[in-house]
Structures are given as C-alpha cells and as structure tokens.
Amino acid sequence: MRIDLHTHSTRSDGTDAPAGLVAHALAAGLDVVGLTDHDVMTGWDEAFEASRRLGVAVVPGVEISCERDGRSVHLLGYLLDPANPALLAELDRARSSRATRLQRMVDLLAADGIPISQEQVAAQVPAGATPGRPHVADALVASGVVADRDEAFRRWLADDSPYYVRYYAPDPARAVALVRAAGGVPVLAHPLAARRGVAPTLALVEELAAVGLAGVEADHPDHDERARRAVREAARHTGVFVTGSSDYHGTGKPVRIGAELTHPDVLAAIESLGAGSAVVRP
C-alpha cells in the first residue's frame, strides 16, 4: 500500500484543486493521500467526493503554522473534528494575521523598488485559499521578476529576509493540545528542514511527545540521510511513530506526489487514535 500523508491544494498554497490532487495521487500509484492544507480544512469535501469517484482513500488533515522562539514550526493534525470551536478560532486568528502580514511585506518590497503590488498578489490567491508567502512568490514569477518560487524565497521571502514580517502563530505545544482536544492525531512536520538546528529541534520532539505528540515526519524531501536518522532516533527515544510524506504543492514546488511514503502500520495507528473524523475510502 502506497501512502503519502502530507500534500497541499489550492485551498492553501498548492496549485492543484483538491479533486485534482486526488487525481494526481491516482496517477502516481498512491492508494492513500493525506490532504493537509495550511490552517484550513475547507478542501476536505471536494477531496472526499474525488476519493469515492477515483478510488484513492483520503486522510483528512491540516498543517498548523506554529512558532517557537522566532522559528517556524509546522504541526500536522489528522482525523480531527473540522467544527471544533477552539481549533477554528485559533486557525482564524492565524489566517487573519497572515493576511495583514503579507500586505506589509508587499509594501516593503514595493518601497524598495521590487515590482510587486497588492493586486498582483491577490490575483494569485484562489478563492477560499489561505494567503501566504508562496502567493507573493507566484506574483513575482508572473511578473517575470524571478524564475520560480525557490528563487523568490532565496532573494526576498525567507525568514531572515529584511522583508520578512512576523505574524501570529500558536506555540507548538498549544497546537498539539488543540489537535488532541479536537479528536485529532498530532504529527510534527519536517522538523529538520533547512536552517533548523538539530539539538533544539530534537529537544522539541521530546517536549511535545510529553504533552501528546503522536508522530514525527522523518522521510521528507527536505531531510537528508543524517536528518532522517536523527529524527528516527528521536522517535525511538520518545515512543512516537514515524511518517514519510512528499509535502506536495503541485507546480509550486519541484517534488512529485508520492516521493516519500508512510508505512501502512503507521496509518493504522493514526486511525486507532483519531476520533474527530475518519479516513474516507472508496
């Protein structure tokens, strides 16, 4: 069974509609795909309909943007209740903060002569999507300023850029508690991606495991072999399970869906823990 538990659609910063994403999962030979858009769960119903039609199981989820000590941390939540009031309030707060933060970033870029406008960015955000830096990158690509999203982030949009503006994001321990309270299964996403220190990150895995973290993503395109070994050792030490996922974004990120996979036993563990929603199977 081929399982990819971390993908994004146009409801956040992916380039495939939810149904199109499920179709791409089918074409890639996947049996199960997790839809985990940033801070939204609005694509689930469309993905479920496509699941029944195309024969690919869908694991409903969300990727919560968190922050600890000024560093970005992402938490995946699977099989949670999409109507949980506390979770929805936190996601709404984060999205609102992110939208106003993007406006300030664009203003800073434009003030330095980089050809970008609020209107150009808005044109890149699909209806119902959560606006994010990738949409600013897409606007820069569309105007011919950069070749792709990666170049836009390297030059102007990274966390250490002078144009970066912080926004509200919950502490990861709070996000773990929110996912658990919504009946979901919390999994720390790509903990050793670029520019994240090994020691503090693995200490975070231990801290979060003590308050309810269920798993950690080890096999990820942004993890080299050393990082994967380190994450697996942290998982073994703390007793959490290990997932593998592509973090597919469509054409917005050069990673194919199904590039990294999760073992079927881990999916079974997620299903045994999840109480807020269920895997949708054809």
- Residues 53-75 as b or e (16 or more Cβ within 10 Å = b): eeebbbbbbbbbbbbbeeeebbb
pLDDT number for residue 194: 62
User: For the chain, how are helix, strand and coil distributed in percent, rounded to 5?
Assistant: 45, 15, 40
Q: Is the per-residue pLDDT at 127 higher than 90?
A: no
pLDDT (tens digit, 9 = 90+) per residue, 38-65? 999 999 999 999 999 999 999 999 999 9
Q: 77: closest CA among 232, 264, 208, 238?
A: 208
Q: Distances in Å between the alpha carbon of 20 and those of 10, 15, 25, 69?
A: 10, 9, 9, 37
DSSP per-residue letters across 71-128: EEEEEEEES--TT-HHHHHHHHHHHHHHHHHHHHHHHHHHHTT----HHHHHTTS-TT
Q: Which two tokens stand for residue 105?
A: 């970033």
Span between the terminal Cα atoms of the chain, in Å: 15
Mean pLDDT of 173-184: 98
Share of the chain above pLDDT 90, in %: 80
pLDDT band with cut points at 50, 70 and 90 for residue 239: very high
Task: Report domain extents, the chain.
Answer: 100-157
Q: Thinking of the domain 100-157, which architecture would CATH place it in?
A: Orthogonal Bundle (1.10)
